[in-house]
Amino acid sequence: MRKGILIGLIVALIFIVFFTDFFIKKDFINKPIDLIRSFFTRIDIYQENLLLKQRVESLKAEIDKYQVSSIKYQVSNEEYLPAKVFSTYPFNVNNVLTLNVGKSRGIENGMNVTVGENILLGQIIEVFENKSIVQTIFDPQWQLSIRIGKDQIDGLLVGGIEPKIILFEKNMPLQVGDVVYSAGSDFLYGMKIGEIADIQQGNGDVFKEANLKIPYSINDLKEVYIRISNY
């Protein structure tokens, strides 16, 4: 009899423990589950934030690209016309280039021609209806008054396969890396031409010479820009 009562009490206790919240509240049981759900929810939110950040960066890059392309033909409020360079392959003719725009697009002799936004390449010397000829700084006949660096040191750019700077006084504080820019009256003032690559003694005691580092390869040019206003 007592054994039967004891078994009944054990069964009742098991029922109360496992099938009711008399000893363990349901909130206590559910809390770990809620924590797990919250953890995975936070992971999902974190991944969504990463995707959103990546999208934002991608959109910023697209905006920057658009802004660069949108000002590509206009520098310092001066209009530039893009022009394709005719090929001279297999001959490397660097002293002159032929472009695919001419009188029909308003091109005239003397207009400045640039690489990129503001790097001086040359000057229009002959114009036809639908094409034009550019004399480049790689022409041995090319000469242009220039200035160098922050001290605005005067010099003369002479053209050739490797253009160089001559006739600057040897006591001038010239350094490798100084920017060389146009100062002749036939060109927009301050157009970059290149940088000083190295400095040499020169032929006399008064002046030095310097080789010029050009920031492009003329043989790789497929497109240039013609400055069509206020030249």
Q: Domain map of the chain by residue range?
A: 2-68, 81-231
pLDDT in tens, 181-192: 999 998 999 999
28 alpha carbon, distance to own chain's centre: 60
pLDDT in tens, 66-117: 443 433 434 544 588 999 999 988 888 899 999 999 999 999 999 999 998 7
Strand locations in 107-186 (E): 112-115, 119-127, 132-136, 143-148, 153-158, 164-169, 179-182
Q: Chain-wide mean pLDDT for the chain?
A: 79
62 vs 72: CA distance, rounded Å: 15
Q: Which of 18-27, 54-63, 114-123 shows the highest mean pLDDT?
A: 114-123
141 vs 127: CA distance, rounded Å: 19
Q: Provide, rounded to the nearest whole percent, the portion of the chain with pLDDT above 70.
A: 65
Higher pLDDT, 157 or 204: 157
Whether residue 155 has pLDDT greater than 70: yes
pTM of the model: 0.64
**pLDDT value of residue 131:** 97
Q: Which residues neighbour 136 within 8 Å (Cβ) at sequence distance 6 or greater? A: 94, 95, 96, 97, 113, 121, 122, 142, 159, 218
pLDDT category, 220, cuts 50, 70, 90?
A: very high
H helices present in the chain, as ranges: 2-19, 26-70
**pLDDT value of residue 40:** 56
Element (DSSP H or E) covering residue 172: none
pLDDT in tens, 131-150: 999 999 999 999 999 999 99
**pLDDT value of residue 195:** 95
**pLDDT value of residue 92:** 81
Fill in the amino acid letter for 62: E
Fill in the amino acid letter for 83: A
Q: Are strands 74-75 and 153-158 parallel, antiparallel or unpaired?
A: unpaired
**pLDDT value of residue 69:** 40
164 vs 184: CA distance, rounded Å: 16
Q: What is the CATH number of domain 81-231?
A: 2.40.10.340
Closest CA to 116 of 192, 213, 228: 192
